Amino acid sequence: METLSLLLYGLQIALSWENLLYCFAGCLLGTLVGVLPGIGPVTTVAILLPFTFGLGPAPALIMLAGIYYGAQYGGSTTAILVNIPGESSSVVTTIDGYQMARQGRAGPALGIAAIGSFVAGSFAVFVVAYFSPPLAEIALRFGPADYFSLMVMGLAASVILASGSLIKAIAMVLVGILLGSIGTDVNTGAIRFAAGLPQLTDGIGFIVLAMAFFGITDVLVNLEKSKEQHVANAEIKNVLPTMEDLRVSAPSIARGTLIGSILGILPGGGALLASFAAYMVEKKVARRPANFGSGDIRGVAAPESANNAGAQVSFIPMLTLGLPSNPTMALMIGALMIQGITPGPGVITERPELFWGLIASMWIGNLMLLVLNLPLVGLWVKLLSVPYSLLFPAILAFCCVGVYASSNEPADVYIVAVLAAVGYALIKFDCEPAPMVLGFVLGPMMEENLRRAMMISFGDPSVFVTRPISALCLAATLLGLIAIAIPSLRRRRDAAMQE
């Protein structure tokens, strides 16, 4: 009851003309930079930072948060339309979303992404409002051993993602882990596999990887196909999701929202793990004839709901522990600190107007995004009817601009070119990029936490089984592996894949 009245108090703050304006500005800017490559949310927030000096902490944070979750919406748009995930958490969306777009169902895909995100965002607002202090305490208790075991579970489960061969899926996860190990080792400072290139000392950026393995590789694959196929692809069936689409997606949205709300609490891989986990769960529970991997709307609804819920819940570790989940959030912490507010356990009680105002504004922002994005769907879909001979040079150019602008580093564009060649070869061998991305993002975190856990325990590996969270994750992984290893169960897995 008290929380409800505090939420109402937050709503009063968020509904002031000033805050509404900044919320809208943030959402609009975020959508724009999310859709347009070349300038990402980090750059936008960095440029706007001096502008927030003159604002109060609440409007400043409301606007910056709007840019952050607005960009998430925008990132899903490019994932669905042109197979370019703007963030690691929209990688899964490309699997079915892009297939839907190719079947002329880009509209329903975009629509369900927007609706799912809105539902998830609204639910996550309540999670943040009601459970921030206890959840922050849980996140704080999460030690390196627990992180390691969770990553192991995530990676082991990721092979389910692949619709093809199990061996190839495992191989791709391993390739991802190897690619992720390029760069400076956190524990020793040693530079690994950088081939003497200073540009590789911080590893390959996610944007670089995404542009290469998704955007450009896909253009190459498409160019091989005959012209007729493209024309057929561009045939638009309907612009908005039908009632049937909504009915099929509703349970998926609910499950995705729940998973995102739980995993989003973990700083770092939270939103990514959430979107992958949501997708895997959908594949497992689908009873109706499913065609995951070739344009199933549930394969868009669930991960999109999960990553949006995760993105909102990740404000808990950011505000109450000062732990950013990504560079955009790191900048928000900076913006708060310049205003004299240090994120930490006391921030909810000391700055209620900031905390509750932000929470309420996130809900309003999600509503604005829905209103803003649904009419845009028609526009985006029309974009797809542009002849591919005109579209693909634009995609290539945007990829290069986007890569360069995200780091100011010309060498990154060359790295994209090299990786795109690799990505093309992998597609030719029927190796899917999604499990690789999971390995790429989670692998380095897994290694970092494994070694840290071992350092803290002075080389005693029993921490992995004596800590309850860690033990639980490892047990689940083991069970899963046994299930795969036993041939009879394995046949069932294959059967599940065939559906």
Partner 1 sequence: MSVIRALYTSIALLIPFGVHAQTFPNKPVQIIVPYAPGGSTDLAARVLAAKLTEQWGQQVVVENRPGGNGFIGMSAGAKSKPDGYALTLGTVGDVAVNPALFPNTPFSMERDFTPISMVSDAELVLIAGKNTPYASVQDVLNAAKAQPGRLSVATSGMGTMPHILLEWMSLVSGAQFQHVPYKGGGPAAAAVAGDNLPLGILAASGVASFVKSGHVKVIAIMSPERSKNNPSWPTLIESGVKDVGGSGWSALFAPRGTPPEVVAKISADVGKALKADDVIARFSGAGMEAVPTTPTELATRIKKDRESFAAIIKSANVKPE
Name residues whose C-beta falls within 8 Å of residue 422's C-beta, 6 or more positions apart in sequence: 212, 213
Q: Which residue has the tokens 């913006």?
A: 335
Query: Quick check: 324 binds partner 1 (CB under 8 A)?
Result: yes
What lies within 8 Å, CB to CB, of 82 at 6+ separation is: 98, 215, 218, 391, 395
352 binds partner 1 (CB under 8 A): no
Using CB under 8 A, pick the residue from 166, 178, 321, 413 that binds partner 1: 321
Token pair 């083991």 is found at 478
In Å, what is the CA distance from 341 to each residue of 45, 125, 337, 350?
Answer: 18, 22, 5, 10
DSSP one-letter string for 19-45 = HHHHHHHHHHHHHHHHHSTTS-HHHHH
Which range in 37-45, 278-286, 421-429, 489-497 contacts partner 1 by CB under 8 A? 37-45
Render 255-280 in DSSP notation, one character per residue. HHHHHHHHHTTSTTTHHHHHHHHHHH
Stretch that binds partner 1, among 107-115, 184-192, 213-221, 369-377 (CB under 8 A): 184-192
Min. distance of Cβ 62 from partner 1 in angstroms? 18
Interaction of residue 330 with partner 1, rule CB under 8 A: yes
Residue among 397 and 456 whose Cβ is closer to partner 1: 456
Closest approach of partner 1 to the CB of residue 4, in Å = 25
Indicate the angle between helix axes 57-82 and 327-338, nearest 10 degrees: 170
Residue 183 has φ and ψ, to the nearest 5°, of 120, -165
Contact string (CB under 8 A) for partner 1, positions 332-351, x = contact: -xx--xxxxxxxxxxx----
- Paired tokens of 449: 């936490």
Residue 50, amino acid? P
CA 177 and chain centroid, separation = 18
**Which CB atom, from 103 or from 184, has the smaller least distance to partner 1?**
184
Binding span for partner 1 by CB under 8 A among 97-105, 139-147, 158-166, 470-478: 139-147
Applying CB under 8 A, among 121, 144, 270, 357 the residue interacting with partner 1 is 144
Among the listed residues 181, 184, 222, 294, the single contact to partner 1 using CB under 8 A: 184
409 near partner 1 (CB under 8 A): yes
Give the interface with partner 1 as residue ranges (CB under 8 A).
42-43, 45-46, 49-50, 53, 139-144, 184, 186-191, 198-199, 201-202, 267, 321-324, 327, 330-331, 333-334, 337-347, 407-409, 448, 452, 455-456, 458
